[in-house]
Amino acid sequence: MSDGITATAEAQANTALDLTTLSVREANRALQSAKGGAFRLLNPGGKHALACGLSQPVSVSIEGHAGYYCAGMNQRAEVTVHGNAGTGLAENIMSGTVRVTGDASQSAGATGHGGLVVIAGNASARCGISMKGVDIVVGGDVGHMSAFMAQAGNLVVLGDAGPDLGDSIYEARLFVRGAVARLGTDCVEKEMRAEHLDLLRDLLARAGMQADPAEFRRYGSARRLYHFKVDNAGAY
C-alpha cells in the first residue's frame, strides 16, 4: 500500500477502504496507523482477520459479513460488523467495543481481558471461553460450553444457553434470561441480589438492549474445583 493511502486514511473522517481493491493487510495497516477518525470497510466478503490489532480510538464500520478473528486484540476502537462474524470474534479484546448486528460463530470474545462485545443475534459454542474481564452481551442464544473456564467478567444472554454452561468456571458472572440446557461442572445458580440487578441494568443499557433485569438468573462458580481434591477427581 502506498504512503498516500495511509495518509488519506489518517486524515479523513468516514474514510472508505474497499476490500475489492485493498488487501486485508493493507486495510488493517491503514486502520492501525490512524490516530482517530471513522472508517468504513466495504465489500468484506467474509474475509478473515479484519480490523485486528487496533490500539487507537478509531471507529470502524464493516459493511457486510466478516470471517474468522474479526477485531481480535482490540484496544480502544469501536468496531461494528453489519452482518455475521466467524470464529474468534474479538478474541483477546482488551478494551473498546465490538458489535455484531447478526450472529457470531464459536469462541466469540475468547480470552477477552476487557471492553464490551455485543452480539445482536445468536452466538455459537464456547462464547466467552476463558474470558478474563470482558463483558459480553448476546441478544439471542449461546451454544454449548459457553464461558468454559471463564475467570472474570460478565456474560449476559437474553435467550437460551446450550449444554455445559460455565464448565470449570472461576469468578465470572453469567446472566441468562432463557433456559439453560445443562450447567457445566462446578457451575451453579446463585442468588440475584440488588447489586447484580444494577450491574445487569448497566450492561444492557451499554449494549443498547431492552430487557428487564428481574427476568434473568445468575450463575457462577461453586468453588469446589479451585484446589485438587482426590474426592473430586471424577469431576475434573
Residue after which a domain boundary falls, among 64, 85, 105: 105
Question: Is residue 193 in a domain?
Answer: yes
d(CA 54, CA 76): 7
pLDDT tens profile 10-54: 444 579 999 999 999 999 999 999 999 999 999 999 999 999 999
The pLDDT, as a whole number, for residue 236 is 55
* Co-location of 9 and 84 in the same domain: yes
> Which pLDDT belongs to residue 224?
86
Looking at the structure, tell me whether residues 144 and 66 fall in a common domain: no
Residues 88 and 165 in one domain: no
Residue 235: the pLDDT is 60
Least confident of 96-110, 114-128, 218-232: 218-232
At 225, list the grid cell: 474445583
Pair (74, 162) in one structural domain? no
* Residue 95 sits in the same domain as residue 171: no
Q: What angle do CA 130, 132, 138 make, to 5 degrees?
A: 75
Q: Which of 86, 105, 124 is the last residue of a domain?
A: 105
- Domains in the chain, number: 2
- The answer to the question of residue 129 being in a domain is no
Tell me which residue of 159, 216, 163 sits closest to 189, measured CA to CA: 216
124-165 pLDDT per residue, tens: 999 999 999 999 999 999 999 999 999 999 999 999 999 999
Residue numbers of the domain that contains 9: 1-105
- Give the integer Cα–Cα distance in Å for 185 and 147: 12
Tracing cell 466467552 back to the chain, one arrives at 128
- Domain boundary (61, 88, 105) is at 105
- Cβ distance 142 to 104 under 8 Å? no
Is residue 216 assigned to a domain? yes
Average pLDDT (63-79) is: 98
Both 7 and 93 in one domain: the answer is yes
One domain, residues 181 and 97: no
Whether residues 91 and 15 share a domain: the answer is yes
What pLDDT was estimated at residue 230? 67
Residue 100 lies in a domain: yes
Is residue 192 predicted with pLDDT exceeding 80? yes
> Can you list the positions of beta strands (E) in 33-166?
38-42, 59-63, 78-81, 97-100, 116-119, 132-138, 152-157, 161-165
Residue 168, domain member (yes or no): yes
